[in-house]
Amino acid sequence: MDFFIALFNDPVGFWNSHSLLIWQIGINGIVATSMFLVLYSGQLSLAAPGFMAVGAYTSVLMWLYWHLPLPVDIAAATLLAGVVGVLVGLPVLRLRGVFLAIATIGFIEALRLGVILNLSITGKGLGLKNPGADPLGGVNPTLISLVVIVFLVWRLTKGRLGNAWAAIRQDEIAALSQGIDVPRYKMIAFVLSALIAGYAGALEAHLNFFVDPGDAQYGVTRTVQILTFAILGGSGFVLGPVVGAMIFTLLPWVFSGAGAYLNIFSGLFLIAIIVFRPQGIVGRGGLALVRPSWLPRASVRAPTPG
């Protein structure tokens, strides 16, 4: 509760004292949008943390070793993530559903355990120090990036490209019959999603003094978290995953009063959403809750005659 009281009593002070939280929301929002793109085109790809890692390490290493200006580092890191996206997508995008999910988990784990933890240039398991990070200065660029990316992705879903993605998500076989080159459009979505994730990773790395190769950062834990943003936020609309990222990044703060019971409250909240809003927080039906079939209807008993 303290959290909300602070928000309403002193918004400016809140903004200044919670900048860490705010940029985290921004980064998570961008990554969630990257997840939205693949889900919107019917691909259950869990590769986002892998592309984030590519973006993060590339941009930090370029800054450390070549002392290039930050925008150049981030741009190059984003592009490299896109190239990796093409290379990963070529073999992997023939798979569908759970099989694609498993293959992309294979990619992120191979990258993290096989490459990042083994190369001395990435600091092996110890991580990489980034003395040039600017946690405070990064807040506004991150939020602006979020707004721009969400806007662009929203526009894309409205055009011919977005129509093709929606068709593929609904029924690949029918999409083919309408002349839609399914492999090509899947690849476009996958690579765009890789670019966005790479960009988010590069940004995030420059908001921290330390690039942590842990599981919670670039591993399965992170990917499940991102998937939670997208699915519970609502994957049918661009804003859904962003709203999901916002709510679930805030959860630990909101329930901070619960102390050790934090995870219980967060878990109950997740279950409640799945049960009462299966389409996600942002989705069809306004904000109406869905009544699960096992929940008894509040019954009004008619008076018995006589």
Which one, 124 or 158, has the nearer CB to another protein?
158
Q: In the bound complex, what is the minimum distance in angstroms from residue 245's beta carbon to another protein? A: 23
- Residue 91 CA: distances (Å) to CA of 78, 86, 191, 210, 288: 21, 9, 13, 33, 42
Q: Measuring CA to CA, which residue among 207, 245, 243 is closest to residue 70?
A: 207
**The one among 27, 52, 167, 187 contacting another protein by CB under 8 A:** 167
**The one among 17, 118, 140, 177 contacting another protein by CB under 8 A:** 177
Interacting positions 280-299 with another protein (CB under 8 A): none
**Does the footprint of another protein cover residue 178 (CB under 8 A)?**
yes
Which one, 179 or 303, has the nearer CB to another protein?
179
Q: What is the DSSP letter of 283?
A: S
Taking CB under 8 A as the binding criterion, the range among 18-26, 168-176, 205-213, 223-231 that sits at the site for another protein is: 168-176
Interacting positions 131-160 with another protein (CB under 8 A): 152, 155-156, 158-160
Give the Cα separation of 161 and 150 in Å (integer). Answer: 16
Whether the CA torsion 296, 300, 305, 306 is positive or negative: it is positive
Which one, 195 or 246, has the nearer CB to another protein?
195
**The one among 181, 221, 257, 288 contacting another protein by CB under 8 A:** 181
In the structure encoding, which two tokens stand for residue 283, read together? 């989705």
Taking CB under 8 A as the binding criterion, the range among 115-123, 165-173, 257-265, 266-274 that sits at the site for another protein is: 165-173
Number of residues that bind another protein (CB under 8 A): 24
Asked if residues 212 and 13 have their Cβ atoms less than 8 Å apart, the reply is: no
Taking CB under 8 A as the binding criterion, the range among 176-184, 212-220, 260-268, 289-297 that sits at the site for another protein is: 176-184
Which one, 12 or 173, has the nearer CB to another protein?
173
Asked if residues 101 and 46 have their Cβ atoms less than 8 Å apart, the reply is: yes
**Does the footprint of another protein cover residue 94 (CB under 8 A)?**
no
Q: In the bound complex, what is the minimum distance in angstroms from residue 95's beta carbon to another protein? A: 18
**Does the footprint of another protein cover residue 39 (CB under 8 A)?**
no
Q: In the bound complex, what is the minimum distance in angstroms from residue 236's beta carbon to another protein? A: 8
| Alpha-helical segments (H) within the chain | 2-9, 11-17, 19-40, 48-66, 70-92, 97-109, 139-158, 160-170, 172-177, 182-205, 215-218, 220-233, 239-254, 262-276
- The 3-state DSSP class for residue 204 equals helix
Q: What is the dihedral of CA 37, 43, 49, 55, to 10 degrees?
A: -50
**Does the footprint of another protein cover residue 170 (CB under 8 A)?**
yes
Catalog residues that contact another protein under the rule CB under 8 A: 152, 155-156, 158-164, 166-167, 170-171, 173-182
